[in-house]
């Protein structure tokens, strides 16, 4: 259930390993494209595999579920209001499969979910279908793949599998062992749910530490890149890299699933979110100050290059991107400046007029390096420009 960034690759890899898969999505366009063997997401290597499994009949897509041995919920869990998790997609997908569940079936949630979601879905299932009590296996097994490396990681990453009971864990392990070569670690559903949230929160906290250091260093006149490099020479220190904030729909979202449910107990996690969000506003202020100074000194508005819109290097994904947020904020507050927007990984954008990266770099008086794309690393340092290196291209 769900043919997005995780559901579709999972369906393809399972099909490649001999599982007969029906991929269900509520979007008919996604279903049409998948059945035509056309990949609707960007993921290296996956297009050829899709053609393969569609042609040999092991994967087919549909807008409706049907009878099966195992059901997998792989739909988004965004947040709503004041960062409250929205599990309505998980619930809707669960309700869609309800009529098709039979004794002996396996029901697995992979979607990132607040603690207790698997138990809550089990309650819905068993309230509607009481004859299935004790007769179906229910488990939670979070995905852990890194976009861009999905084919490898789906097979080789370890997985955490938490059943509502031992038999459910066994059934889920039996399924995943068909294509996962990493270890399959057994636990209960609540631990597995919190484990997923913990992994992404841990990374968020570590990045917040690096971002905090970057702001301390800026104030102290110290090069943060050199500092982190030197501190990491300690055998037990491993600091991540600062940037212009944290984006994507995982690390910038999942920690809120902990802080919303356990606000008093999760202060560091909440502060890390606040620090990483603040880092983007800090970058906006730096750019605006540089523009003001330029205008005072040169008696004309500057040409500014905003380098990168994607949420991380070398991808085309702009979801929850701090670089995009910073670019929008700078454009909105500086009407008279000439802002050149650069994103080498996309051809065109409906809001931003894009400029080739080398042309923008050449023309700009102020260069804001927001995303560390490989293309930007080929540019030479220029003393005649104001370069705001938020993502460590020049490490100056």
Q: Which of 11, 73, 136, 145 binds ligand SAJ (CB under 6 A)?
A: 145
Instruction: Compute how many other C-beta atoms are within 10 angstroms of the C-beta atom of residue 375.
Output: 17
Q: Is the distance from CB of 370 to CB of 307 less than 8 angstroms? A: yes
Q: Can 250 be counted among the known catalytic residues?
A: yes
Q: Give the x-and-dash track for 199-228 against ligand SAJ (CB under 6 A).
A: xx--x---x---------------------
Select from 18-26, 103-111, 145-153, 282-290 the region that touches ligand SAJ (CB under 6 A). 145-153
The residues in 41-80 that bind ligand SAJ, with binding defined as CB under 6 A, are none
Nearer to ligand SAJ, 35 or 271 (CB): 271
Question: Nearest distance from residue 394's CB to ligand SAJ, in Å?
Answer: 17
Closest CA to 160 of 186, 125, 126: 186
Q: Is the distance from CB of 133 to CB of 107 less than 8 angstroms? A: no
Question: Nearest distance from residue 392's CB to ligand SAJ, in Å?
Answer: 9
Q: Which of 16, 137, 273, 312 binds ligand SAJ (CB under 6 A)?
A: 312
Question: Nearest distance from residue 261's CB to ligand SAJ, in Å?
Answer: 18
What torsion do the CA atoms of 121, 122, 125, 127 make, to the nearest 10 degrees? -110
Nearer to ligand SAJ, 3 or 303 (CB): 3
Sequence-ordered list of residues with C-beta below 8 angstroms from that of 142, at least 6 positions apart, any chain: 110, 112, 159, 160, 192, 193, 195, 196
Q: Is the distance from CB of 324 to CB of 345 less than 8 angstroms? A: no
Give me the catalytic one of 16, 141, 244, 250. 250
The residues in 105-144 that bind ligand SAJ, with binding defined as CB under 6 A, are 112, 143-144
Nearer to ligand SAJ, 58 or 118 (CB): 118
Strands 106-109 and 84-85, how do they pair?
Answer: unpaired
Strands 106-109 and 137-140, how do they pair?
Answer: parallel
Nearer to ligand SAJ, 25 or 143 (CB): 143
Sequence-ordered list of residues with C-beta below 8 angstroms from that of 173, at least 6 positions apart, any chain: 161, 184, 186
The CA distance from 3 to 32, in Å, is 12
Nearer to ligand SAJ, 240 or 346 (CB): 240
Q: Give the x-and-dash track for 232-271 against ligand SAJ (CB under 6 A).
A: --------xx-x--xxx-xx--------------------
Strands 70-73 and 159-163, how do they pair?
Answer: unpaired
Give me the catalytic one of 16, 141, 196, 244. 196
**Half-sphere CA count of 330, side-chain side, radius 13 A:** 36
Question: Nearest distance from residue 154's CB to ligand SAJ, in Å?
Answer: 10
Q: How many residues bind ligand SAJ (CB under 6 A)?
A: 20
Q: Which of 71, 311, 361, 390 binds ligand SAJ (CB under 6 A)?
A: 311
Say whether residue 341 binds ligand SAJ (CB under 6 A): no
Nearer to ligand SAJ, 60 or 203 (CB): 203
Say whether residue 146 binds ligand SAJ (CB under 6 A): yes
- Could you give the C-alpha distances from 61 to 29, 41, 96, 260, in angstroms and in order? 11, 15, 15, 35
The CA distance from 326 to 315, in Å, is 18
Question: Nearest distance from residue 251's CB to ligand SAJ, in Å?
Answer: 4
Say whether residue 163 binds ligand SAJ (CB under 6 A): no
Contacts made by residues 148-153, CB under 8 angstroms, sequence distance 24+: 148/43, 148/44, 148/314, 148/315, 150/5, 150/6, 150/9, 150/43, 150/46, 151/9, 151/13, 151/43, 151/44, 151/45, 151/46, 151/49
Q: Is the distance from CB of 336 to CB of 357 less than 8 angstroms? A: no
Nearer to ligand SAJ, 144 or 273 (CB): 144
Nearer to ligand SAJ, 310 or 337 (CB): 310
For the record, the structure tokens of 102 come out as 């039979």
268 alpha-carbon distance from chain centroid: 21
* Chain positions contacting ligand SAJ, by CB under 6 A: 112, 143-147, 199-200, 203, 207, 240-241, 243, 246-248, 250-251, 311-312
Question: Which residues are identified as catalytic?
Answer: 196, 250
């Amino acid at each position: 259930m769900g043919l997005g960034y995780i559901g579709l690759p999972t369906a393809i890899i399972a099909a490649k390993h001999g599982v007969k898969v029906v991929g269900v999505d509520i979007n008919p366009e996604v279903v049409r494209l998948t059945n035509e063997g056309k990949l609707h997401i960007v993921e290296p290597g996956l297009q050829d595999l899709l053609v393969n499994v569609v042609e040999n009949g092991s994967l087919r897509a549909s807008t409706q579920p049907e009878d099966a041995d195992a059901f997998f919920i792989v739909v988004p869990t965004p947040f709503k209001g004041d960062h409250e998790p929205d599990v309505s997609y998980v619930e809707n997908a669960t309700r869609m499969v309800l009529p098709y569940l039979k004794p002996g079936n396996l029901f697995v949630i992979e979607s990132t979910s607040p603690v207790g979601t698997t138990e809550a879905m089990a309650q819905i299932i068993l309230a509607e279908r009481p004859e299935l009590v004790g007769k179906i296996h229910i488990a939670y097994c979070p995905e852990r793949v890194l976009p861009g490396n999905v084919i490898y990681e789906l097979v080789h990453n370890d997985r955490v599998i938490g059943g509502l009971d031992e038999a459910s864990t066994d059934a889920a392990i039996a399924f995943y062992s068909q294509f996962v070569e990493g270890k399959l670690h057994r636990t209960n559903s609540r631990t597995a749910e919190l484990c997923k949230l913990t992994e992404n929160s841990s990374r968020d906290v570590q990045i917040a530490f690096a971002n905090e250091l970057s702001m301390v260093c800026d104030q102290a006149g110290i090069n943060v890149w050199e500092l982190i490099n030197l501190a990491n020479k300690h055998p037990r220190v491993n600091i991540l890299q600062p940037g212009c904030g944290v984006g994507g729909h995982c690390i910038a979202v999942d920690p809120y699933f902990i802080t919303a449910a356990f606000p008093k107990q999760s202060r560091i996690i909440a502060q890390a979110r606040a620090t990483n969000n603040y880092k983007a506003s800090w970058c906006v202020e730096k750019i605006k100050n540089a523009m003001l100074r330029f205008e005072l000194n040169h008696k004309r508005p500057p040409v500014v290059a905003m380098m990168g819109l994607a949420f991380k290097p070398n991808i085309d994904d702009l979801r929850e991107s701090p670089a995009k947020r910073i670019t929008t904020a700078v454009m909105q507050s500086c009407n008279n400046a000439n802002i050149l927007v650069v994103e080498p990984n996309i051809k065109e954008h409906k809001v931003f007029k894009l400029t080739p990266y080398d042309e923008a770099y050449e023309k700009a008086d102020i260069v804001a390096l927001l995303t560390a794309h490989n293309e930007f690393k080929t540019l030479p340092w220029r003393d005649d420009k104001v370069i705001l290196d938020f993502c460590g291209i020049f490490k100056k």
